[in-house]
């Protein structure tokens, strides 16, 4: 089957399965997995080989971790250290030990049980983060705890990949620990951090100055894929490189634009990744030894859930409902299990029969996670909520005010908001203006606010006030139309260059409009009247009267113009209808 035909099959399966899954309330991930099972070699066999597409689709996980890194500043990671390195470490060690203990009770040899426990102790970063994001629960206490654990698991996968070959049947005692390889890994991480700190932002400034959006997107892809490939060459996880690159750019002015550029690639490739996982499920084993497979799945998910529940309570999650949700959402095996099991097969660490069983069990545990989470939600509704202690994980930045256009007007608004202690998010599409403003300590992000995905990345869905301070008339109207259509809850306060600009904004239903030269002209006129001998009160009264009359005139002119435009449009519509009737009734010679 050609690549084009395979692509068509993947897209068709996703377009059919995902909407049905979401319609049933099961989420998009379960739809992708089901689509992969149906079209895979153990289903209808439309596609026979899942391995080649799985390696390509892993880029979806890479892009996901880059976006996660963008949301996590280094300072926030330090604040999260107790959750990441405390709760994360305990989860991996206790889960691995518990799984190994259960396996040994069932008669599995200690070596196989320990290796299996270490592999199955990891959960699915892509699966969990995507599911929590769809449910808008990443900022909840269990969402933040899950993120902390998953972050540590991604770090823990690195030494596991390095150690696993030393446990294989082909390894010898003389092999020892490759300190050169470990040194190379450490040097690569340090080099990437240094490069991200000092080189990435200047490189993106050059791309932004080109004024070509495609160049900026290409630079983004280059950084993500390049950092991931660098880690892979050094013998580490690709996702770690993408995460570090994202974290180094978290405080950059390009953060929101980067997220908007990479999000479409992330969404498509993550979907393809889950389809490939579904295709790798060996349904043949499920028919041959169903009892054994489901026993492995049940023991895996139950053991991890119990460990997670009690660890959550131990680390300050007093709300049992949140602890229950955390246990349910992280009870599955992870995508690193596929990588580690493939490595275990090549190094003869585990027998091939056990590897096949564990691959199937991990895939089924992913399929079962949405159902387990739904059960946890249902059980949680019956449990009386307990007042919860605050975790030492900061919440995401949620600014009430979004300022678009950070020139003369936007900067004054921002300065006044800073005086009263109100935080805001500012967007500016002119990269030179962004660079200039940031030199003086102001925080402003680079990006084209006419793009819907960028507005979402900047927090438009959670903001309350939208300050439209763009000077260009056409761009201002385009942004205003997009905001009114997609974020109707936002209160728009707009800058207008002139009366024509104000009329166009008024036609969109925007009430709070400020013409940029009006107030300064009125203040100047008041001063002139005082210099001509009018007293201060009289001069102020004259200016106020003029301002009221001008405001009435502006509205009257708009009403007349609006009526004329409606009349013209109505005349055009009538003319078209008459022309259509004449054509239809015209006799045929």
Task: Write the pLDDT tens digit of every residue in 452-461.
Answer: 878 887 888 8
Comparing 101 with 234, which gets the higher pLDDT?
101
**Residue 395: pLDDT band with limits 50, 70, 90:** very low
Residue among 148, 33, 20 at smallest CA distance from 83: 148
Mean pLDDT of 291-301: 92
> Which residues are CB-neighbours of 301 under 8 A, at least 6 positions away?
331, 332, 365, 368, 372
> Which residues are CB-neighbours of 538 under 8 A, at least 6 positions away?
529
> Which residues are CB-neighbours of 39 under 8 A, at least 6 positions away?
9, 10, 13, 45, 46, 47, 275, 279
Across the strands, what pairs with 425? 402
Residue 393 has what pLDDT? 38
- The burial class, CB within 10 Å (0-12 / 13-18 / 19+), for 109 is exposed
Q: Among 4-13, 49-58, 104-113, 378-387, name the most confident range.
A: 104-113
Structure tokens given for 200: 């990435």
> Which residues are CB-neighbours of 424 under 8 A, at least 6 positions away?
399, 400, 401, 402, 403, 414, 417, 467
Rounded distance between C-alpha atoms, residue 145 and residue 328, angstroms: 13
**Residue 98: pLDDT band with limits 50, 70, 90:** very high
> How many residues would you count in the chain?
589
**Residue 65: pLDDT band with limits 50, 70, 90:** confident
**Backbone dihedral region of 316: left (phi > 0), alpha (psi from -120 to 50 degrees) or beta?**
left
Give the DSSP per-residue string, 119-173: HHT---HHHHHHHHHHTT-TTSHHHHHHHHHHHHHHHHHHHHHHHGGGGSTT--T
CA 414 to chain centre: 27
CB 422 within 8 A of CB 440: no
CB 452 within 8 A of CB 486: yes
Structure tokens given for 360: 């199937």
Q: What percent of the chain has pLDDT over 70?
A: 84
Q: Is the pLDDT of residue 386 over 50?
A: no
* Three-state secondary structure call for residue 428: strand
Q: What is the pTM of this model?
A: 0.60
Give the DSSP per-residue string, 71-119: T--HHHHHHTHIIIIIIHHHHHHHHHHHHHHHHHHTT--HHHHHHHHHH
Mean pLDDT of 556-563: 73
Q: What is the mean pLDDT of the chain?
A: 80
CA 189 to chain centre: 24
Residue among 31, 73, 60 at smallest CA distance from 129: 60
Task: Write the pLDDT tens digit of every residue in 108-154.
Answer: 888 889 989 999 999 988 778 878 877 778 777 788 888 888 888 87
Whole-angstrom distance between the N-terminal and C-terminal Cα of the chain? 56
Task: Write the pLDDT tens digit of every residue in 239-281.
Answer: 778 878 887 887 777 877 888 888 778 778 878 877 887 787 7
Number of Cβ atoms within 10 Å of the Cβ of 171: 15
Task: Write the pLDDT tens digit of every residue in 482-533.
Answer: 898 889 899 999 998 888 888 888 888 888 888 887 877 888 888 888 888 8
Rounded distance between C-alpha atoms, residue 236 and residue 585, angstroms: 76
* Three-state secondary structure call for residue 459: coil
Question: Which of 95-99, 235-239, 409-413, 580-584 is predicted least confidently?
Answer: 580-584
Rounded distance between C-alpha atoms, residue 71 and residue 77, angstroms: 10
Rounded distance between C-alpha atoms, residue 124 and residue 340, angstroms: 13
Residue among 372, 337, 332 at smallest CA distance from 358: 337
For residue 582, the number of C-alpha atoms closer than 13 Å in the C-beta half-sphere is 6
């Amino acid at each position: 089957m050609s690549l084009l035909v395979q692509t068509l099959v993947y897209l068709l399966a996703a377009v059919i399965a995902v909407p049905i899954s979401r319609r049933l309330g099961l989420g998009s991930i379960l739809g992708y997995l089901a689509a992969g099972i149906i079209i895979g070699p153990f289903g209808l066999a439309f596609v026979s080989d899942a391995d080649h597409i799985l390696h390509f689709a892993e880029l979806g996980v890479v892009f996901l971790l880059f976006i996660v890194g963008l949301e996590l500043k280094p300072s926030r990671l330090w604040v999260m250290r107790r959750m990441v390195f405390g709760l994360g470490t305990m989860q991996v060690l206790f889960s691995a030990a518990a799984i190994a203990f259960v396996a040994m009770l069932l008669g599995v040899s200690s070596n196989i049980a320990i290796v299996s426990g270490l592999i199955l102790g990891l959960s699915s970063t892509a699966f969990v983060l995507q599911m929590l994001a769809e449910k808008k629960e990443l900022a909840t206490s269990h969402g933040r705890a899950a993120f902390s654990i998953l972050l540590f698991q991604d770090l823990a996968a690195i030494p596991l990949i390095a150690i696993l070959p030393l446990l294989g049947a082909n390894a010898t005692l003389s092999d020892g620990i490759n300190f050169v390889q470990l040194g190379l890994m450490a040097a690569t991480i340090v080099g990437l951090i240094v490069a991200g700190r000092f080189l990435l932002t200047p490189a993106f400034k050059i791309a932004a100055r080109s004024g070509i959006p495609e160049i900026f997107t290409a630079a983004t892809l280059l950084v993500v894929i390049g950092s991931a490939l660098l880690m892979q060459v050094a013998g580490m996880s690709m996702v770690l490189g993408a995460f570090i690159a994202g974290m180094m750019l978290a405080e950059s002015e390009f953060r929101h634009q980067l997220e908007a550029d990479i999000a479409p690639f992330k969404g498509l490739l993550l979907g393809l990744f889950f389809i490939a996982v579904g295709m790798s499920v060996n349904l043949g084993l499920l028919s041959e030894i169903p009892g054994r497979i489901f026993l492995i799945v049940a023991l895996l998910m139950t053991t991890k859930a119990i460990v997670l529940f009690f660890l959550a309570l131990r680390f300050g999650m007093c709300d049992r409902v949140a602890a229950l949700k955390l246990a349910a959402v992280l009870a599955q095996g992870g995508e690193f299990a596929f990588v580690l099991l493939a490595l275990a097969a090549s190094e003869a660490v585990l027998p091939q029969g056990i590897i096949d069983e564990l691959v199937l069990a991990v895939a089924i545990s992913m399929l079962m996670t949405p159902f387990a989470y739904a059960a946890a939600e249902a059980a949680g509704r019956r449990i009386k909520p307990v007042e919860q202690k605050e975790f030492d994980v900061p919440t995401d930045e949620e600014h009430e005010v979004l300022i678009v256009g950070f020139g003369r007007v936007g900067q004054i608004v921002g300065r006044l908001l800073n005086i009263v202690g109100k935080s805001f998010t500012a967007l500016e599409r002119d990269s030179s203006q962004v660079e200039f403003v940031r030199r003086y300590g102001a925080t402003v992000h680079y990006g084209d606010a006419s793009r819907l995905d960028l507005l979402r990345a900047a927090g438009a869905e959670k903001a309350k006030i939208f300050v439209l301070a763009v000077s260009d008339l056409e761009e201002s109207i385009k942004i205003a139309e997009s905001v009114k259509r997609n974020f109707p809850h936002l209160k728009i306060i707009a800058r207008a260059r002139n009366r024509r600009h104000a009329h166009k904004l008024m036609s969109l239903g925007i009430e709070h409009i400020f013409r940029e030269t009006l107030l300064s002209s009125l203040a100047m006129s008041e001063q002139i009247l005082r210099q001509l001998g009018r007293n201060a009160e009289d001069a102020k009264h004259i200016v106020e009267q003029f301002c009221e009359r001008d405001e009435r005139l502006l509205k009257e002119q708009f009403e007349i113009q609006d009526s004329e435009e409606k009349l013209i449009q109505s005349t055009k519509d009538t003319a078209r209808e008459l022309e259509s009737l004449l054509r239809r009734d015209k006799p045929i010679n």
